[in-house]
Structure 1
Amino acid sequence: MTAMAPSRNEPDLSFLLDHTSHVLRTQMAAALAEIGLTARMHCVLVHALQEERTQIQLAELGDMDKTTMVVTLDALEKAGLAERRPSSTDRRARIVAVTEKGAQVAKRSQEVVDGVHRAALGSLPEEEAEVLVRALNRLVTGHLATAVEAPQPVRRARHRG
């Protein structure tokens, strides 16, 4: 007699969220690549425009490690979209200043990001899209607000833009 696999009693929420998140990220990457940006570059530009922020603060907001942040800033500087400057409040800290060109690109990239999100939600009937967003917001601020310390590191997506 062979053992039988246990039957699933609940929807596979992990698969549904992982798959939609993965595909959405690939669509986002492709759309941003058309204007010469990565999702990380977009994330840094937008957050750096909101207020004076250090490289460390921007890395945390974008969920990037130090190395990834340096690579991202190098790309932004090379493209003339941002530059590292000493902080006005702490001379030891380096802030990321967005150039005029960078601000224009950030405006365009935000339109691209909004368009990708609009297309995804627009593929659903309007009332379903509203319920989905409301439910996900409730999970993000409630039951799934904080990650649990896992016994071993859990691999996760690096981008939150």
Structure 2
Amino acid sequence: MTAPSRVEPDLSFLLDHTSHVLRTQMAAALGEIGLTPRMHCVLVHALGVERTQIQLAEIGGMDKTTMVVTVDALEKAGYAERRQSSTDRRARIIAVTPAGAEIAARSQKIADGVHAAALGSLPADERDVLVRALTRLTQGHFATPSEAPGVRRARQ
């Protein structure tokens, strides 16, 4: 018996492998300043707006336990703190400290650099095409994931 011949490129492999390598490069680069990608995500999305842990967890595609651990680490580092919301006394928000704002600015430059390096590995005429095509896919055909057992929810 032989494997069936492929008619289309293995898009799952191409996207998954690219995403995996990009995530590892991002984690390594952010690790140099003591942050994880999750910590970076929380900081940049909590800056300048009142967001609860639940809202930030949804943005970052994190479950409750992971979010608590991430915020605990940010608090321990002095980058964020849990505070009462100014609009809802029952809600607790994640507030970025001045040190957190500084590290968020540094981490955003690092993230931008990782993305620029990835895009810079392509010929100039292909960079915009790739970004436009991926944007179109995420807003069209891949806008909504299918429900499937055992598949983690993607970051929004």
Superimposed CA distance per residue, residues 71-113 of structure 1 (whole angstroms, 9 cap, x where no aligned partner): 0000000000000001111111110000001001000000000
Look up the match of 1:153: 150
Look up the match of 2:140: 142
Q: Is residue 53–residue 94 contact of structure 2 (8 Å, CA) maintained in 1?
A: yes
Q: TM (normalized to structure 2)?
A: 0.96
**CA separation in 2, counterparts of 1:79 and 1:120?**
30
The letter for the 1-side match of 2:146 is V
**CA separation in 2, counterparts of 1:43 and 1:50?**
14
Q: How many Å apart are 1:156 and its aligned residue?
A: 6.0
* Structure 1, unaligned runs of 5 or more: none
**CA separation in 2, counterparts of 1:34 and 1:156?**
28
**CA separation in 2, counterparts of 1:85 and 1:54?**
9
Question: After TM superposition, what 4+ stretches of structure 1 lie above 6 angstroms from structure 2?
Answer: none
Instruction: Look up the SS of the partner of 1:84 in the other structure.
Output: strand
The counterpart of 1:60, out of the listed 58, 61, 68, is 58
Q: Is residue 45–residue 56 contact of structure 2 (8 Å, CA) maintained in 1?
A: yes
Q: How many Å apart are 1:4 and its aligned residue?
A: 2.2
The counterpart of 1:107, out of the listed 105, 108, 121, is 105
Look up the match of 2:26: 28
Q: How many residues align?
A: 156
Give the aligned CA root-mean-square deviation in angstroms.
1.3
Instruction: Look up the SS of the partner of 1:154 in the other structure.
Output: coil
Superimposed CA distance per residue, residues 3-29 of structure 1 (whole angstroms, 9 cap, x where no aligned partner): 221100000000000000000000000
**CA separation in 1, counterparts of 2:66 and 2:151?**
19
Look up the match of 1:133: 131
Q: How many Å apart are 1:56 and its aligned residue?
A: 0.7
Q: How many Å apart are 1:154 and its aligned residue?
A: 1.3
Q: TM (normalized to structure 1)?
A: 0.93
**CA separation in 2, counterparts of 1:27 and 1:6?**
34
Q: Is residue 61–residue 153 contact of structure 2 (8 Å, CA) maintained in 1?
A: no
Q: Is residue 50–residue 95 contact of structure 2 (8 Å, CA) maintained in 1?
A: yes
* Structure 2, unaligned runs of 5 or more: none
